[in-house]
Amino acid sequence: GFTRGPIIFMGPLTEPLGFERMMQSFWDEAGGYGARILIAPTAAPDDPLVERCRRWLLDAEVESVDVLSIADRRMAFASELITRIESATGVMITDGNPLRFV
């Protein structure tokens, strides 16, 4: 099977180096260069934080970064999304309302 990695909830960070530290830790735990990352925005998919995280991960040379577009809980259980989630080595849930997936 695949390596199971972290699930991280990424919200606003107040410490100047907080973003870099969080991303580096997530990158390490998700598998580094071979990481397969899914970003699940709980606010708008075009949220600047989503693009900032995606760009950081691509610059760090992960294997892949996909941004999921999930509108509601029913959509979160679609078989195609479940397959993508199961093959990911790390999942990042960004700021917004993560309870809409519950």
Strands 36-42, 7-10: pairing kind: unpaired
**Which range of residues forms the domain containing residue 28?**
18-97
What stretch of H or E contains 91? strand 90-96
pLDDT digits (tens, 9 = 90+) for 37-83: 999 888 776 788 889 999 999 999 999 999 988 877 788 888 988 88
**Token representation of residue 20:** 């870099």
Alpha-carbon distances of 87 from 5, 27, 76, 81, 94, rounded to whole Å: 10, 16, 15, 10, 19
Within a domain: residue 62?
yes
Within a domain: residue 11?
no
Highest mean pLDDT out of 3-17, 18-32, 33-47: 18-32
- Cα angle 9, 35, 13 (rounded to 5 degrees) comes to 30
Greater pLDDT, 89 or 3: 89
Task: Tell whether the model's pLDDT for residue 12 goes beyond 70.
Answer: yes
DSSP state of 78: -
The total domain count for the chain is: 1
